[in-house]
């Protein structure tokens, strides 16, 4: 999608600290990290939120979750991590391109804020 900031990051139009990418996904450091390790994993396909997935996205979504453990290892996270996806207004989704936050390197509270 031409005016989507995350699509522009995935296509290298906007610079960011990409830590991993392949034909399906892109993973890069969050601009405003909330933990010692905070990266965002996006599908290269523009999907606005989890509300907008279709049946054909099942494999892609499974692939994203499957790759989390590789990214955790790559980033040197030990002792646990959190995977978060904010969707829609109440969850304060600020960028309308579906993404997983992968956070680690500190203890997290529960319930989340
Ligand atoms: P959301 O609030 O939608 O769940 O998360 C969006 C995330 O994207 C935020 O954590 C924010 O810091 C991050 N973000 C917004 N714009 C940029 C950007 O241009 N580059 C990077 N690397 N992260 C961004
Ligand atoms: Zn996009």
Query: Does residue 112 lie in a domain region?
Result: no
**111 lies in some domain:** no
CA of 18 to the centre of ligand 1 (A): 13
Nearest-CA residue for ligand 1 atom 24 is 31
Secondary structure (3-state) at 30: coil
| Per-residue pLDDT at 86 | 98
Q: Could you confirm whether 101 is annotated as catalytic?
A: no
Six token digits for residue 33: 């990290």
pLDDT per residue as tens, the chain (113 positions): 789 999 999 999 999 999 999 999 999 999 999 999 999 999 999 999 999 999 999 999 999 999 999 999 999 999 999 999 999 999 999 999 999 999 999 999 999 98
Residue 23 belongs to domain spanning: 5-104
Answer yes or no: is the C-beta of 15 below 6 A from any ligand 1 atom: no
Q: What is the pLDDT of residue 69?
A: 98
Is residue 41 assigned to a domain?
yes
- 26 in a domain, yes or no? yes
pTM of the model: 0.98
Q: Does residue 113 fall inside a structural domain?
A: no
86 lines ligand 1 (CB under 6 A): yes
What atom of ligand 1 comes closest to residue 86's alpha carbon?
4
Return the CATH number at 81: 3.30.428.10
Domain contains 84: yes
Choose the residue to mutate in 31, 35, 99, 112 for probing ligand 1, maximizing ligand atoms within 8 Å of C-beta.
Answer: 31
Q: Which helix (H) or strand (E) holds 83?
A: strand 81-84
> Which atom of ligand 1 is closest in space to residue 32's alpha carbon?
12
Question: Is 50 within a domain?
Answer: yes
Look at the chain and report how many structural domains it folds into: 1
- Classify burial at 15, counting beta carbons within 10 Å of its beta carbon; exposed 0-12, middle 13-18, buried 19 or more: exposed
**58 falls within a domain:** yes
């Amino acid at each position: 999608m031409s005016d989507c900031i995350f699509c522009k990051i995935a296509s290298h139009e906007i610079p960011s600290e990409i830590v991993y990418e392949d034909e399906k996904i892109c993973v890069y450091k969050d601009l405003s990290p909330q933990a010692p390790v905070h990266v965002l994993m996006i599908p290269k396909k523009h999907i606005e939120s989890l509300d907008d997935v279709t049946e054909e996205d099942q494999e892609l979504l499974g692939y994203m979750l499957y790759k989390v453990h590789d990214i955790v290892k790559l980033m040197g996270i030990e002792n646990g991590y959190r995977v978060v996806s904010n969707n829609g207004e109440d969850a304060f989704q600020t960028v309308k391109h579906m993404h997983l936050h992968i956070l680690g390197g500190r203890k997290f509270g529960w319930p989340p804020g």
